[in-house]
Amino acid sequence: MARVNITRGPALISGVHPKSFLGGFIEGTTQDDVELIPGVGISFSHGGIIGQQT
C-alpha cells in the first residue's frame, strides 16, 4: 500500500485549480443551493494495467 495515496475530507478540495475537473464542481456549488461534501480521494503512484499475471 506504499504506492497508494489517500486524501480525506477538506484536503480534497483545498488548493484546487479553478479550471480543473474538480474546480468546476466547486464553482457549481457556489451558484446553486448545493453542498459539496468531500469524502476520500485515492490515487496510485505507479499506474499500469490491472490484470492477472501469468
Q: What is the 3-state secondary structure (H, E, C) of the chain?
A: CCCEEEEEHHHHCCCCCCCCHHHHHHHHHHHCCCCCCCCEEEEECCCCCCCCCC
Give the pLDDT confidence score for residue 47 in this predicted structure: 67
pLDDT at 23 over 80: yes
Q: Is residue 39 part of a domain?
A: yes
pLDDT band at 10 (very low <50, low <70, confident <90, very high): confident
Q: Is residue 50 part of a domain?
A: no
Q: Is residue 20 part of a domain?
A: yes
pLDDT at 26 over 80: yes
What is the Cα–Cα distance from 13 to 33, expressed in whole angstroms? 18
User: Residue 3 in contact with residue 9, Cβ under 8 Å?
Assistant: no
pLDDT at 2 over 70: no
Q: Is residue 23 part of a domain?
A: yes
Domain span at 12? 4-43
Q: Is residue 10 part of a domain?
A: yes
pLDDT at 22 over 80: yes
What is the Cα–Cα distance from 45 to 32, expressed in whole angstroms? 35
Number of compact structural domains in the chain:
1
pLDDT at 1 over 70: no
